[in-house]
Copies of this chain bind each other. A is one copy, B any other.
Amino acid sequence: MTQKAAIIGGGVIGGGWAARFLLNGWDVAVFDTDPEAQRKIGEVIANARRSLPALYDKALPGEGTLSFHDDLTSAVANADWVQESIPERLGLKHKVLGGLSELAPGKAIIGSSTSGFKPSELNEKGARAIVAHPFNPVYLLPLVELVGDPVATQPAADILRDIGMFPLVLRKEIDAHIADRLLEAVWRESLWLVKDGVATTEEIDEAIRMAFGIRWAQMGLFETYRIAGGEAGMKHFMAQFGPALKWPWTKLMDVPEFTDELVDLIAGQSDAQSGHLSIRELERLRDDNLVGMIRALKKTGSGAGDVIATHEAALEHPSAPDLPVTAKRQIPQSWTDYNGHMNEAHYLEAAAAATDRFMEMIGADADYIASGKSYFTTENHIRYLDEMLAGEQLTITTQVLKGEGKKLHLFHMLHGDKGTITATAETFLLHVDLNTRSSCMPTDEVLEKLTAFAEKHAGLPMPEGAGRYVGQRS
């Protein structure tokens, strides 16, 4: 049977919860007194629809039903989960959580999105809530801090895993749980930096995202430092940087005493956490993660990805005397698959980039595309002749088989480290008008450059494998 979540308070956080449940197949009932609630939640859900399913290579369950209620009783009727996301005022929380505890079915988990209050505070007037503290955007970030009675937090953790989240059940309650304590420390230190004129908000953001932010996205603080300790590990790291605790490196000066006991506690926990991997293995995992994430950020031009895109644009294009060299690059680890070699789709990714480069060479470049003209690929044929491995150098040369009018017929040869041809990609493109999305003639400038290549290549023999169909005998 379809499960039901009641969302009490529909701001950015409540809306994110609504989207998270709805897109995982739950029915969602929203209670919010704001007359704008429906519009606001609609906008959050629209964002979620374009991004959450895009994380998956499979379809999520069909969406549940979304309803809006102006009384609590109908909102929470038959609910399996009730989530409160109202403003952070303890008196208000007492009132609302008290009401929900009376009205909601006994089976329902009652979660509070509070950033800071402890369950003992939330429940001091008799409510039966747990803390279920998520992070914005709730529909994408997995973490939920669960604090409270294990009778409720354990089934709550199961439900959260079912909707693709990562529950972290806290050992004891504490103001602001775990993550917000760290955030608050950074926030305070950052306020000092801005107030003292040391850095602007933008400079602080760059200092974060260009360095430790992207490191923390994949490992966090302690595992990162374990690697920094090198072969000697966590103890060595702490011996090196322990003394800095007494130096004025932050304005926030309450420092735990750096005893042998604390060092042993941390080193022991770090061994339990990461000891199954050697430092070398951790380094390679970290590097593969960083490469994958920075390559992703390159597509949007953000942070470290923007640095690489800018640097790459300034790198020289390779050249060769006969056929044009349309690519020269290294195979990333992330392009390999379960067979231990470059995945078939990335042969085409590399060939498609070579097509882009050829287009650039005949003047169909970024400015040309911005002017409303481009080429669309209508057909590709790839022959896989040899395996390519991560780290291997790939070079692509391109022969024009036909280049006249709207038609562009290319034959890419992919060369590996040994100089042999590891694959061929035959591609057919039509020149299009990007406004009408139909074919049209290229400009005279493009046609002239294309014709020069086509005439130069007209005397070459037809490359082996051109014109093949799939399954044809060799």
* Nearest CB on B from A439, distance (A): 13
Q: Which of A289-307 contact B (CB under 8 A)?
A: 289-300, 302-304, 307
Q: Is A168 an interface residue (CB 8 A)?
A: yes
* Nearest CB on B from A457, distance (A): 15
Given contacts A205-B222, A307-B142, A352-B344, contact A213 B213 (CB under 8 A): yes
* Nearest CB on B from A316, distance (A): 8
The chain B residue with its CB closest to the CB of A299 is B334
Contact of A212 among B179, B345, B390, B427 (CB under 8 A): B179
Question: Which of these binds chain B: A69-77, A93-101, A378-386?
Answer: A378-386
Contact assessment for A57 and B312 in the assembled complex, using a CB-CB cutoff below 8 Å: yes
Contact assessment for A221 and B248 in the assembled complex, using a CB-CB cutoff below 8 Å: no
Q: Which of A320-358 contact B (CB under 8 A)?
A: 327-334, 338-340, 343-346, 348-349, 351-353
Question: Which of these binds chain B: A27-35, A185-193, A413-421, A441-449?
Answer: A185-193
* Nearest CB on B from A260, distance (A): 13
Contact assessment for A265 and B195 in the assembled complex, using a CB-CB cutoff below 8 Å: yes
Q: Is A60 an interface residue (CB 8 A)?
A: yes
Question: Which of these binds chain B: A103-111, A148-156, A280-288?
Answer: A280-288
Question: Which of these binds chain B: A2-10, A44-52, A123-131?
Answer: A44-52
A316: B residues at CB distance < 8 A? 61
* Nearest CB on B from A408, distance (A): 11
- Bound state CA distance, A194 and B255, in angstroms? 13
Q: Is A458 an interface residue (CB 8 A)?
A: no
- Bound state CA distance, A306 and B273, in angstroms? 16
A283: B residues at CB distance < 8 A? 47, 137
Contact of A469 among B51, B285, B467 (CB under 8 A): B467
Contact assessment for B188 and A255 in the assembled complex, using a CB-CB cutoff below 8 Å: yes
The 10 A-B pairs at the shortest CB distance, nearest first, are namely: A205-B220, A292-B296, A252-B252, A213-B216, A54-B332, A217-B217, A143-B210, A143-B211, A53-B330, A202-B273
CB-defined A-B contacts under 8 Å, sample of 16 = A50-B333, A56-B315, A57-B312, A58-B315, A141-B214, A178-B199, A181-B193, A182-B186, A184-B249, A289-B296, A292-B293, A300-B334, A344-B377, A379-B471, A428-B470, A466-B470
